Structure 1
Amino acid sequence: MRLPWLRSVKPLEPLTHEDLIRLVALGDEAAFEELYDAVAPRVFGLVRRVVRDPSQSQEVAQEVFVDIWQQAARFDADRGRAMSWILVIAHRRAVDRVRASQASADRDLRQGIKEYKESYDDVADTVETAMESERVHKALKTLTDPQREAISLAYYGGYTHQEVAELLKIPVGTVKTRIRDGMIRLRDKLGVA
């Protein structure tokens, strides 16, 4: 026997990422699983591009999902899309991991230099590289915040202009202008022909 009212019921629409995050904020583990299944490949792909090392990328992706679980209540749909919010968390975590790895490598390098007597040429090369790196970092500080952010995402983060535009929620043309203007400023500051 069929009930007449059953014919008028529409099938449920699939939940959006925004809906899932709202449910995660309420502690809904099933919604978290569904969100994870939906976005994990993109999160891992982004992290992998920045971190490069597969095992560290897996760790960072896992940390991203812990952050999502813990910070879901902070998500504000009026400020942007859920996927953008998630990718910003992923990018920040990945950049933090790269910086931490670089700092660790720098510490190891400094310690290694103390413990191991290198030839004059090797020391000179190391110093020259460190000095050049410092010049670039100082030059980057002279850029405007929008220029520095766009250049960092594009050159250090490995993002395309389109991806930078999506992350920053600005037009691609604006991204290209910021990068071009920033690169001109860097070239002038560094005295590169």
Structure 2
Amino acid sequence: MRQQPYFGGAESGGPRLEDVMEQVGRGDKNAFSILYDAVANTVFGIVVKVVRDRAQSEEVAQEVMIELWRQAGRYRPSQGSVMTWVATIAHRRAVDRVRSAQASANRDKAAAVRDQQRPFDEVAEQVETRLESEQVRRCMRALTELQRQAVTLAYYQGMTYREVAESLQAPLATIKTRMRDGLIRLRDCMGVTT
């Protein structure tokens, strides 16, 4: 017959773990000391099986004990034994630590990959931007006057089609047609494929 992992019971004359838990829930530090002695080895055993790193397991086990102190008032004997409740908290904390460690490793790996990518070449970027700007200016010169004005007002000055029509004193339908035709010519001139 397996011995209880804690200290007492009705036959030994010691307090039951459920009673100790109730006292801990009321803030009794001596009762928490008894609880700690009763469950610490079990908590550490559960945590180390999940975490697998002794130093981290010690940290997690300590976090579990702090959580037991803080959450003792929430324990309900009708929902399971103290040891089951403690084991559940320990397992949950251990899994959280493993997930956190994995997420951290993934972030570090992603950062390392980003750092190994080709560094930003500011000169090449400026040259490319200048060449694209020159090509846009050249293609804009190929548009009709109304197309060029409409595109300039809409895309460089942020006007709506209606505002462009009012500014150029042209019917809205005409502006829409000129804009469509102008954008098609620009696309073709720039060599953009759809």
Aligned-partner residue type, residue 62 of structure 1 = Q
Structure 1 residue 115, shift from structure 2 partner: 1.3
Gaps of 5+ in 1: 1-10, 118-193
Q: TM-score, normalised by structure 2?
A: 0.53
Matched, 1:50 2:30: no
**Structure 1 partner of 2:60:** 60
**Counterpart Cα distance in 2 of 1:77 and 1:111:** 48
Moved over 6 A (4+): none
Matched, 1:95 2:92: no
**Counterpart Cα distance in 1 of 2:96 and 2:58:** 14
**Counterpart Cα distance in 2 of 1:106 and 1:30:** 43
- Secondary structure of the 2:41 match is helix
Percent identity of equivalent pairs: 50
- Secondary structure of the 2:27 match is coil
**Structure 2 partner of 1:157:** none
Structure 1 residue 61, shift from structure 2 partner: 0.4
Structure 1 residue 17, shift from structure 2 partner: 1.6
**Structure 1 partner of 2:30:** 30
Deviations 1:62-107 (A, max 9, x none): 0001110000010000010000000100001000000000000000
RMSD: 2.0
**Counterpart Cα distance in 2 of 1:25 and 1:94:** 23
- Secondary structure of the 2:14 match is coil
Higher-Rg structure is 2
Pick closer, same or farther for the CA change 1:28–1:12 going to 2, 3 Å: farther
**Structure 2 partner of 1:85:** 85
Aligned-partner residue type, residue 101 of structure 2 = S
Structure 1 residue 12, shift from structure 2 partner: 7.5
- Secondary structure of the 1:27 match is coil
Aligned-partner residue type, residue 38 of structure 2 = A
Q: TM-score, normalised by structure 1?
A: 0.54
Deviations 1:135-180 (A, max 9, x none): xxxxxxxxxxxxxxxxxxxxxxxxxxxxxxxxxxxxxxxxxxxxxx
Structure 1 residue 53, shift from structure 2 partner: 0.8
**Counterpart Cα distance in 2 of 1:57 and 1:103:** 18
Structure 1 residue 26, shift from structure 2 partner: 0.8
